[in-house]
Structure formats: C-alpha cells, structure tokens
Amino acid sequence: GMAAFGVPEADEGRDLNGDGDLLDQEAFLYDPASGTVRDLGTSCLAFEHLHEDFAVLLVSELDEGVDMDGDGQLFSLFSHVVELGSGTIVPLGVRSVSAALGPWLVFLRSESDEQVDLNADGDLSDGVAHLHHLPTGTETNLGVAVRAQVFTGEELFVVPVYEPDQGGTDLNGDGDGNDLVVHVLDPVAGALLNTGLGGSGRDGLSPAGASLGAYLLLFTNEADGRDRNQDGDTFDVLPVLYPRAGGRILEPGVAVNPFGGGASPVGGLLAIAVSEAQENRDLDADGDLDDILAHTFEPALERLRNLGHPALVPLSATTSRWIEAGAFEPNEGRDLNGDGDQDDYVPAFL
C-alpha cells in the first residue's frame, strides 16, 4: 500500500500550493514499491481515507485561498477525492467524511447549504447521510438525518438516526419521536436497516470494527421504555449483539457504565464490564454498589457468566483468550498486592 503524509511549507521554505504564503501543509504520497514521493497538488489538514487508487483529503478554504462554496468567506473545510492514477482532484462538496469502509464513504449533506429538503421532513435544517462509491463516483441519498458519529463494523456502517430530525417519526416504536435510533447500512446491497435499538449516551454505538463472529457489537439505551436488565428503571446502557446476516438480536441483559468501557469481543465470547450501580445489584457481595465486575457472554449458548473480579475500564482484550482486568484497592477495601497499604491499582488477567 501507499503512505500519505503532509509536509509543512514552513519546514520546506517553499510555497507548495501556490497561494503566496508558507502557512500550509501540502499533501504528498509515498509509493514503497517504486520508492517515489508525489505531490498531490493541494494542501490538506488531514487524510480522511486512503483506498487503492483514491485518497480523500480534508482541505481548508483558507489554506488554498479559494472560496469553495461561494459564501464570500474562507472559513470552511471541504472533503476532496484525489484519483491517484491521473492526479484528478474532485471536490465532494461536503464538510467532512463521517466514515469510510473500503471503496465506500458515508458523509452528510447540509440541507441549509444545498437549500433542498433531502429527507423530506418539511425543513432545511438537517444533515442527511449519503453513500458514495469511490471507483464510480456514484452517490446515494440515504434519506436519514444524522447528528451522532457513524461507525463501521467490518462490512457494515452503523448509522444513528435522530427522530426529531426525521420530522418526529417514531423509529423504535415507543410512541414518541425524541430518540436516537441505530440503523445498519450494507453498502454493497444499498440496504439501510432499522435495528429498533435506541442510541446510548455514546451515540448508541460500539467502537469501530467491534465484531464477534456473525454479530456486530452495539450499545442501546432504554429510551423505548423497556427495562432490559430488569433492575426497576429505564435509565441504563446495555451491550447487544446484532446479527450481520439478519436474525434475532442477542441481549446479555446487563448494564455498563454509560460513559465508556462497556464491552469487547474476546476469543468467541463477549467480555462485559458490568456496573453494579447501573444494575442496582451487589455483584461481588462486598456490601456496596461501587464496583464494575467482569462478565462474559457466550453467544452460542446465550449464557452470561460473572467472573467475580473487578474489570478494567475501558475493557480490553490482550490476546484471543485473555481479558485484561484489574482492581483499585480502595474500592475493594483490601491489600491485594501485599505491600501493607490499600492505595494501589493491581492488574489481573482473566
């Protein structure tokens, strides 16, 4: 593959993009096969994506000295596609790429900029998701408004759709139009599927690429009024496993800290950092609800197991078989490493 990088004009002492100053960063490409370095002919703030014969750059109007949207100002950023074979630069006309997966891009078009109601909800105030195919330049309006981050999971995009921006449409069947609802996009099939899952405080989604066999890891909240972990409230965030090829969503039925850490695939299992406070249960019988305990969920048997050990947050997998966990002695009220105090963090591997 090729390596993309930026070169500051000030370091080179040259005006590389011809705008009369030495304040910019020029986009370059290095081909290890030939050993050649190539100037792409434009400044860039960042490389948003690199795929085979295409590079996607984030370009500043101010750096280029060009009013790209004709608004009389030079304050905006825009994404450009560079066809590496010919060097042709094609402006996408969007302010950034939301997510990229192989030859596919997802980005938002602003209705106010375009002066078109792109999701047919009767206003011009939304950012509406579009799917773009780099080799053909084909662009498809997905017809849904997005405010939160779009993620990828192997061959799928995970798209959070905001009900109020869809004209208040009830997308998760809870009788209101106030929620963030997770959709899954198969770019090859062009199919956008509504999972019916409410988005969590972390945009409803797992980190990019979190996958477990035939399942995609997502997070959902209880905004639809369902008490998914049977703790007597509807305020929790829970991991779920969405079947990539269709079928029933698997729910371990335990809550995680809503501010991060949640869950990670490990050796065919889903490792979960379960919050006692969110569960309203003392999971390690130490007399409090202050702990976060490591659990595993086995999709094939739909079996949840409490490992009885504090979990390191964010939860991480060190190998295909081990979970990195750990405990703070003040939380445990014990000297876990035998040094005579209770002030330490003691790591563990499960």
Mean pLDDT across the chain: 87
pLDDT at 202: 44
Helix (H, G, I), strand (E, B) or coil at 67: coil
Check residues 317 and 306 and name the one with the higher pLDDT: 306
pLDDT at 313 over 80: no
What are φ and ψ of residue 154, in 5° steps? 55, -110
Q: How far apart are CA 28 and CA 41, in angstroms?
A: 8
Check residues 75 and 330 and name the one with the higher pLDDT: 75
Q: How far apart are CA 216 and CA 210, in angstroms?
A: 6
Most confident of 122-126, 198-202, 223-227: 122-126
Q: How far apart are CA 21 and CA 133, in angstroms?
A: 35
pLDDT at 283: 94
pLDDT band at 286 (very low <50, low <70, confident <90, very high): confident
pLDDT at 114 over 70: yes
pLDDT at 330: 77
pLDDT at 316: 57
Range 205-222 average pLDDT? 74
pLDDT at 23 over 80: yes
pLDDT at 205: 44
Range 45-54 average pLDDT? 92
pLDDT at 273 over 60: yes
pLDDT at 73: 93
pLDDT band at 244 (very low <50, low <70, confident <90, very high): confident
Check residues 131 and 223 and name the one with the higher pLDDT: 131
Q: Which residues contact 158 (CB under 8 A, 6 or more apart)?
A: 150, 151, 152, 182, 183, 184, 185, 205, 206, 216, 218
Sheet holding 127-133, edge to edge: 97-101, 104-110, 127-133, 139-145
CA distances from 289 to 116, 232, 274, 313, 327 (A): 51, 15, 11, 16, 15
pLDDT band at 260 (very low <50, low <70, confident <90, very high): low
pLDDT at 321 over 90: no
CB 80 within 8 A of CB 122: no
pLDDT tens digits, one per residue of 6-17: 999 999 999 998
Check residues 279 and 244 and name the one with the higher pLDDT: 279
Q: How far apart are CA 234 and CA 239, in angstroms?
A: 15
pLDDT at 231 over 90: yes
CA distances from 32 to 3, 29, 37, 57, 82 (A): 8, 10, 9, 20, 19
Tell me which residue has tokens 């939304």.
126
pLDDT at 322: 64
Quote the tokens at residue 283. Answer: 């999971």
Q: How far apart are CA 12 and CA 166, in angstroms?
A: 49
Check residues 275 and 204 and name the one with the higher pLDDT: 275
Range 253-261 average pLDDT? 80
Of 76-85, 121-130, 188-197, 265-274, the range with the lowest mean pLDDT is 265-274
Helix (H, G, I), strand (E, B) or coil at 273: strand
pLDDT tens digits, one per residue of 146-204: 988 888 877 899 898 999 999 999 998 888 998 889 899 999 999 999 999 887 544 44
What are φ and ψ of residue 61, in 5° steps? -60, -40
pLDDT at 33 over 70: yes
Q: Give the CA count within 13 Å in the CB-facing half-sphere of 124.
A: 6
Q: Which of 167, 168, 161 is CA-nearest to residue 144? A: 161
pLDDT at 251 over 90: yes
Check residues 50 and 85 and name the one with the higher pLDDT: 50
pLDDT at 86: 84
CB 281 within 8 A of CB 289: yes
pLDDT band at 312 (very low <50, low <70, confident <90, very high): low
